Amino acid sequence: MAARLSVARAARQLTSSAARRPATAYPVSCQRWQKAPIQSRLFTVSAQWEEKKYTEDHEWVELSADGKTATLGISTYAAKALGDIVFCELPQVGVEFSSGDAIGAVESVKSASDILTPISGEVVEVNSALEEVPGGINKDPEGEGWIAKIAVQAEPEGLMSAEEYKKHTEEA
């Protein structure tokens, strides 16, 4: 299993870098040549990312339809456990984070909880509505209560599917 995943990862890295290089150097002539790798890249990406993924620290990430950005938020389980969120510290747009970094924090019932990003990349958008209504996270943590969008550089590892995450929270 692990071996297969790493092969797939290597293949993805190859195809994505191959796709990027000619795009700048030979924008026109390589278009046809480019097509196949892009398709295979989308296929492997969507196989990994067709559903929302979860972290051990109770964040969720979801890839956009074009595969360029990932939306990040905190899970319904976490939002319930934390209680009424009274303040949300959002990251700044344009700042680059590495996976595992705290990109923000929420405060609820005297607790400041770090929001950790499982993906590296630049923050391209934040949910500014949360500055006015931090409780929006409690209302719809995995929808309207999203926290930030990040430009995806590489696929994250070690994330859980919804089912695996459910199991993880039941064990805890």
Partner 1 sequence: MAPSRGLLRLRQLSAASCRYGSIASGRRAASSFAQHLTNPSAKLQSYISRSRDPFLNLSIEDYVLRHSPPDSVVLFLYTNRPCVVIGRNQNPWLEVNLGILKVAPEQGSSFSNPELPAIGDVDLVRRRSGGGAVFHDEGNVNWSITCPRADFTRDKHAEMVVRALRRLGIERARVNERHDIVLDQGHERRTSDPSDTHRTAYTGDEGAQPRPLKVSGSAYKLTRGRALHHATTLLASPNLHIIPQYLHAPAKKFIEAKGVESVSSPVGNIGLENDIFQQRLQEEFATMYGARDTPPVVRTVGEAELDIPEIRKGYEELRTKEWLLSQTPQFRLKVDKSDLDGWSHELNVLLDINIHHGVIKSVDYSDFLYGTDREAQIRFALVGKKLQDIGDWHDFFRGREGTEALAECLTRWLPIPDTPGA
Name which of residues 72 to 91 contact partner 1 (CB under 8 A): 86-87, 89
Does residue 116 interact with partner 1 by CB under 8 A?
yes
Q: Say how many residues touch partner 1, by CB under 8 A.
A: 18
Report the residue number, 19 or 82, with the smaller CB distance to partner 1: 82
Q: Please list, in sequence order, all residues whose beta carbon lies within 8 angstroms of the beta carbon of residue 97, skipping any fewer than 6 positions away.
A: 91, 103, 117, 120, 121, 122, 123, 150
* Least distance in angstroms from the C-beta of 115 to partner 1: 10
Per CB under 8 A, 1 contacts partner 1: no
131 sits near partner 1 (criterion: CB under 8 A): yes
For the CB of residue 76, give the shortest distance to partner 1 in the complex, in Å. Answer: 17
The distance of closest approach from Cβ of residue 124 to partner 1 in the complex, given in angstroms and rounded to an integer, is: 20
Between residues 8 and 81, which has the closer beta carbon with respect to partner 1? 81
- By CB under 8 A, name the one of 2, 25, 65, 172 that touches partner 1: 172
Residues near partner 1 (CB under 8 A) are 56-57, 86-87, 89, 102, 105, 107-114, 116, 131, 172
